C-alpha cells in the first residue's frame, strides 16, 4: 500500500530507542552550549530531514556547524561552514562510545566545548561518559522510526495551517524523545509546578508560561509501553478528561493526563493521515472550547 506506515514495536525497538534517546540528548546539549536562547527551548530542538534528524546550523566563534543523524546510511555526520566534514558509524556504539567519539570529532574540527553530561528528564540517569548499558542500535528499528516520523510530520504540519495564533514548528524534543507541535491561546498560564526529573524548574515554567495545547508522538516508555500519539492542554480545563473525542480507540490516560491514540491504530488504518488528523483536531477542539480560548481570533477556516 502506497500510504502504509511502518510497524513500530516498543518491545522490539525499546533498546534502540533508549540508546538513540541518549545520543540525541548529547547532541542537544551541544546545541544548548552554543545557541542563543529562544522561548520554550525551541532553539535546541532537532528537526526531521529526509535522511534523519538535524540540529540545523549552530554558531561557534567564527564558523558554523551542523550535526546530523543519518538513518539511511546509519552515520553521525558533522559539517562546518569551512567545508569540513566528519562522520562515524552509529552501529556498535554505547552511549559512552558515542560521547567520546563526537567530542573527538568536534575537537578535530576546532570546536572545543563542554556540556553537562547528566541526562535530563530521566530518573536515576547514568552520566553519558559512563553509560555502557545503552548500547543497542538496530538499523531496521531506527529506519522504521524515522520513516514513521516523516509521515506523521506531514500530518502535524498540515494541522498548523488553520491556526494564526502563536504556534511552534513541528520539531523533535530530545529531553522527552518526542515529536511535537504546540498551539498557544495568547493568555498567561499559572506557574508550572516543575518537578521534572533532572530538569531545572525554571525551564518547565518558561516552557509553560502561557496556555498551550500540545500534540505529538513518542515511541513508548515504561509508563506507556507502546508507540502513541498524544494531546494535552496546560492548564487542563475542567471536564477535558471526559470530553468525547475521535476516532474510536482514542482515550484519556489518567496517569499521564493526556489523550492517547495508539500508533498501531493509525498504522493499521486504510487512511492513517485522515485518522491522525481527526484525533488532533477533535482533541484540540474539545480542549480549546472548554478552556474558552478565543478561537475566532486565532483560527482560520480553509481547506
Question: For position 300, what pLDDT does the model report?
Answer: 87
Rounded to whole angstroms, the Cα distance separating 277 from 4 reads: 16
Rounded to whole angstroms, the Cα distance separating 212 from 258 reads: 13
Question: For position 1, what pLDDT does the model report?
Answer: 45
Q: How far is CA 185 from CA 169, 257, 278, in A?
A: 16, 20, 21
61: left (phi over 0), alpha (psi -120 to 50) or beta: left
267 and 7 Cβ atoms separated by less than 8 Å:
yes
Question: For position 99, what pLDDT does the model report?
Answer: 98
Rounded to whole angstroms, the Cα distance separating 247 from 58 reads: 41
Question: For position 121, what pLDDT does the model report?
Answer: 96
Q: In what order do the strands lie in the sheet with 171-173?
A: 171-173, 178-188, 210-218, 228-234, 258-262, 251-253
| Average predicted confidence (pLDDT) for the chain | 96
Instruction: Give the percent of the chain with pLDDT over 70.
Output: 98
149 and 179 Cβ atoms separated by less than 8 Å:
yes
Residues in the chain with pLDDT < 50?
1
Q: What is the pLDDT of residues 61-117, one digit of tens each?
A: 999 999 999 999 999 999 999 999 999 999 999 999 999 999 999 999 999 999 999
Query: Apex CA 39: angle with CA 118 and CA 194, to 5°?
Result: 50
Rounded to whole angstroms, the Cα distance separating 162 from 296 reads: 11
Amino acid at each position: 500500500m502506497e500510504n502504509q506506515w511502518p510497524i513500530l514495536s516498543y518491545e522490539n525497538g525499546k533498546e534502540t530507542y533508549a540508546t538513540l534517546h541518549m545520543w540525541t540528548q548529547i547532541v542537544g546539549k551541544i546545541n544548548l552550549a552554543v545557541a542563543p536562547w529562544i522561548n520554550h527551548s525551541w532553539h535546541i530542538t532537532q528537526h526531521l530531514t529526509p535522511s534523519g534528524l538535524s540540529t540545523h546550523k549552530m554558531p561557534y566563534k567564527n564558523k558554523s556547524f551542523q550535526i546530523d543523524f543519518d538513518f539511511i546510511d546509519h552515520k553521525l555526520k558533522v559539517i562546518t561552514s569551512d567545508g569540513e566534514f566528519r562522520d562515524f558509524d552509529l552501529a556498535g556504539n554505547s552511549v559512552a562510545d558515542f560521547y567520546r567519539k563526537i567530542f573527538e570529532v568536534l575537537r578535530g574540527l576546532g570546536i572545543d566545548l563542554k556540556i553537562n553530561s547528566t541526562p535530563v528528564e530521566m530518573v536515576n540517569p547514568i552520566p553519558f561518559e559512563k553509560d555502557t548499558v545503552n548500547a543497542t542500535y538496530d538499523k531496521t528499528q531506527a529506519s522504521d522510526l524515522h520513516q514513521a516520523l516523516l509521515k506523521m510530520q506531514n500530518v502535524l504540519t498540515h494541522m498548523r495551517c488553520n491556526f494564526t495564533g502563536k504556534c511552534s514548528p513541528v520539531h523533535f524534543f530530545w529531553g522527552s524523545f518526542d515529536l511535537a507541535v504546540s498551539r498557544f491561546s495568547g493568555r498567561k498560564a499559572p506557574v508550572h509546578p516543575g518537578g521534572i526529573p533532572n530538569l531545572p524548574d525554571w525551564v518547565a515554567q518558561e516552557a509553560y508560561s502561557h496556555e498551550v495545547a500540545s500534540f505529538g508522538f513518542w515511541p513508548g516508555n515504561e509508563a506507556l509501553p507502546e508507540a502513541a500519539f498524544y494531546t494535552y492542554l496546560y492548564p487542563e480545563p475542567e471536564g477535558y478528561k471526559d470530553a468525547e473525542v475521535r476516532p474510536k480507540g482514542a482515550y484519556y490516560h489518567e496517569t499521564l493526563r493526556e489523550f492517547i491514540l495508539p500508533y498501531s491504530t493509525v498504522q493499521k488504518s486504510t487512511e492513517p493521515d485522515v485518522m491522525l488528523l481527526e484525533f488532533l483536531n477533535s482533541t484540540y477542539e474539545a480542549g480549546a472550547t472548554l478552556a474558552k480560548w478565543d478561537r475566532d481570533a486565532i483560527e482560520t477556516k480553509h481547506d
